Amino acid sequence: MSETTDGTDLPESNVFARPWPLDLGLPGFTAVDHADIEPAIRAGMAAERREWEAIATNEAEPTIANTVNALERSGELLERALTVLDALTSATDCPDLDELEEVLAPELAAHSDAYHLDSRLYERFKTLDDLVAAAPDGEETRDADGAVIDAETARLIRLTVEEFERNGVGLDESETDALKEINARVNALKMRFSILVTEAMHAAEVSNVTVTPALATTRPHAARLSLLDRSMNRGLGGHDGAGDTRDIVLELAVLRAERAALLGYPHHAALVAAESAARTTDAVREMLARLTPPAMANARRDAQIYAARMENDPETQEGETFGPADWPFYEAAERKDRFGVDDEVLAPYLELWSVVVNGVFYAANRLYGITFHEREDLAEHMYAPGVRVWEVHDGEGPEAPVLGLFVGDYYARAGKSGGAWMDSLVTGSTLTGRRPVVINCCNIEQPTSGPALLTWDEVITCFHEFGHALHALLSETRYPSAFGTAVPRDVVEFPSQLNEKWALHPEVLSSYARHVDSGGPLPTDLAKQLRGQGSFGQGYATTEYLGAALLDQAWHTLAPGEVPGDIREVEEFEHRALAAAGVNDALVPPRYRTTYFSHIFAGGYSAAYYAYIWSEVMDADAIAWFTTDGAIGGDLGLNRKAGDTFRREFLARGDSRDASTSYRAFTGRDPSILPLLKRRGLT
């Protein structure tokens, strides 16, 4: 037997019995036997329970060392094992591990409850919180050891107290039992939904969104209708009932509503809002209501233009009329006529690795001074060929301090979840001394031969996901739970959306947009037209996004008795909810329909899909800052002074201080919504 660092015995043959030997704790995926994962997770849960118990039963007065730091250091084995399980199930085809996730889901929920419902742990944090609250203004607060409770620690303590209270620590025994049952069932249902949606996406040969990019190049109209039909009917069961997710949706909606009621909230959305930057569902509702009418009006205006194009298209047959299946096709044609650009024209200039290395990395170097050194030796330990690893340094040359590792998994493969995401394979913090290891996952088709040429949307996705990576790589917080992207959902998208800006910056674009064969730059007139599109296409893009955000709110502002009781009511509920909000879903379907809306029924965005547009208020305002206050000599903000300001005041802070405080420290003002309205053509 071999003893792990947390005292848990696992067989020496189990790869999780010891910390990863690779640099910065990069998981050694090729060394993992699937059979090792389940015992490691169970051992990890047991070890963390013992760590919690030691903190809870400590007879000494609560201090930073014996309570805050001890809790932040707990769970190392469990985190390592769960990180590997999550990475493999989301990025590879492994039905055995998908099944394991389903089996473990209720137990992991119970494990989480063991922490959140432990009144002894709560009381220790409450004691420290009361100590801070009782201190006279301007005076230092010290714990029983004499250690100063600084602002970062005081914030963590307050947020932890709120988390305990929000998760039911004060409930009576019967309510606690009910809550535990709900949490276990919710976790199991989320896992099942995720598996079914991924299977349906691959079976239908579509992307994860409703209106798939392939529609832009599909002919004729009938073929587009067939493709959209396959996409929109995912999760409805088809003729044999396979893959039907509607029963899961309805049960999740009921369970979340019941849990909210148990915890004293009118609905699930109110519970989620309580830990967000928005704070209330009224604030969310007001923003969505402000944006929806002008977005829908713009979509209707554009639809008239595209309908006329379709009517004049010689391939249009008698009786065929413009609809959602035709939108990408005729929008692309209109874009090419107006601006001379489309994916076919741009593709030879958008080779994947040039976009990543000469675009994404280049912009990060110009803004933050960081450099990237490929580690092929580490890539050999990843779970699939084609995954690349870079060591990220804070400065030029191999002697510059190492910030962390960046892993790029850009290619689609069987079993991989749809869309794109960032995740942490190792969470950094100054308390633990660990540096972050972050991964970006995309779904770019890998050609059988030759280079991978991207669409413009895929270029933006690469920049977007790396914005999340920067949030982690440049974080300097003390506590793991406040590190990097561990901020409220309606804040976390801000750095990623802001990073999209640099894809079109003239200097960055000229660096990566090089012809795959000749190496020549993107023609000047083409680059100018690409940058000059303004709010073109935003009527549809904004409305389809808002449709999904509105659906999310509709499902999660229901009381238990208001949830439909029959799966046949799901589609009608969708239609009524969107119509009530002013969205014509027959013209602009939501980006995700209920039955394949993984963000909210499998991921962490339930009642929080609005977060993208909430964050975009900061994003659009921050771009205005970069191009004015942050610009030097007409460089539009692409300089170290502006980058270092953003890094120091926002990216480095994680959740160690309130996001609004960090934003004001960064720009000197609160964000205005006007830049967003102008960008989206909603003024």
Instruction: Give pTM, 2 decimals.
Output: 0.96
Residues 6+ apart with CB under 8 A from 3: 9, 17
Question: Is the preceding omega at residue 220 within 30 degrees of 0, hence cis?
Answer: yes
pLDDT for 614-647, tens place per residue? 999 999 999 999 999 999 999 999 999 999 999 9
| pLDDT confidence of residue 379 | 98
- Domain ranges within the chain, ordered by starting residue: 2-184, 347-531, 622-679
Annotated catalytic residues are 465
Q: Read off the pLDDT of each residue in 552-558 and give the average, rounded to a whole number.
A: 98
First to last CA, the chain: 67
- Nearest Cα neighbor of 471 from 606, 364, 618, 620 is 364
pLDDT for 291-328, tens place per residue? 999 999 999 999 999 999 999 999 999 999 999 999 99
Output the CA angle 272-276-277, nearest 5 degrees: 150
| pLDDT confidence of residue 239 | 53
| pLDDT confidence of residue 240 | 58
SS (H, E, C) 487-551: CCHHHHHHHHHHHHHHHHCHHHHHHHCECCCCCCECCHHHHHHHHCCCCCCHHHHHHHHHHHHHH
pLDDT range class, residue 680, cuts 50, 70, 90: very high
DSSP result, 549-593 = HHHHHHHHT--GGGS-SSGGGHHHHHHHHHHHHT--TTTS--SS-
| pLDDT confidence of residue 7 | 45
Q: Give the CA dihedral 82, 83, 85, 86, nearest 10 degrees.
A: 110
Half-sphere exposure of 587 (CA within 13 A, CB side): 20
- Nearest Cα neighbor of 80 from 424, 384, 404, 380 is 424
| pLDDT confidence of residue 640 | 98
Residue 437, pLDDT > 60, answer yes
**Element of type H or E holding 307:** helix 281-311
Give CA separation, 583 vs 543, 575, 586, 588, 647, in Å.
7, 9, 9, 8, 39
- Nearest Cα neighbor of 204 from 169, 236, 164, 248 is 236
pLDDT for 234-277, tens place per residue? 999 875 566 999 999 999 999 999 999 999 999 999 999 999 99
pLDDT for 576-592, tens place per residue? 999 999 999 999 999 99
Q: What percent of the chain has pLDDT over 90?
A: 97
Q: Alpha carbon 179 to chain centroid distance?
A: 27
Give CA separation, 246 vs 9, 79, 240, 250, 448, in Å.
43, 32, 14, 6, 37
DSSP result, 61-79 = PP-IIIIIIHHHH--HHHH
pLDDT range class, residue 8, cuts 50, 70, 90: low
| pLDDT confidence of residue 398 | 83
SS (H, E, C) 221-289: HHHHHHHHHHHHCCCCCCCCCCCCCHHHHHHHHHHHHHHHHHCCCCCHHHHHHCCCCCCCHHHHHHHHH
Match 């539009």 to its residue by tokens.
Answer: 636
Residue 168, pLDDT > 90, answer yes
The reply to whether 2-184 and 347-531 are identical in fold is yes
Contact 163, 113 (CB under 8 A): no
| pLDDT confidence of residue 397 | 85
**Element of type H or E holding 425:** strand 421-426
**Which DSSP letter does residue 434 get?**
B
Residues 6+ apart with CB under 8 A from 137: none
Contact 374, 405 (CB under 8 A): no
CATH of 2-184 among 3.30.450.20, 1.10.1370.40, 3.40.50.720, 3.40.50.300: 1.10.1370.40
Q: Read off the pLDDT of each residue in 428-438 and give the average, rounded to a whole number.
A: 98
| pLDDT confidence of residue 241 | 65
Mean of all residue pLDDT scores within the chain: 96
Domain 347-531 has CATH 1.10.1370.40: yes
Residue 6, pLDDT > 80, answer no
Residue 450, pLDDT > 90, answer yes
Match 């909430």 to its residue by tokens.
Answer: 614
- Nearest Cα neighbor of 63 from 111, 132, 112, 11 is 132
408 forms beta bridges with 388, 440
Question: What Rg value do the Cα atoms of the chain yield, rounded?
Answer: 25
Say which residue, 6 or 42, is predicted with more confidence.
42
- In angstroms, the CA 297 to CA 652 distance is 40
- Nearest Cα neighbor of 38 from 119, 94, 117 is 94
| pLDDT confidence of residue 137 | 87
- In angstroms, the CA 619 to CA 612 distance is 10
Which tokens hold the place of 167? Answer: 């998760």
| pLDDT confidence of residue 439 | 98
- Give the SS3 label for residue 391: strand
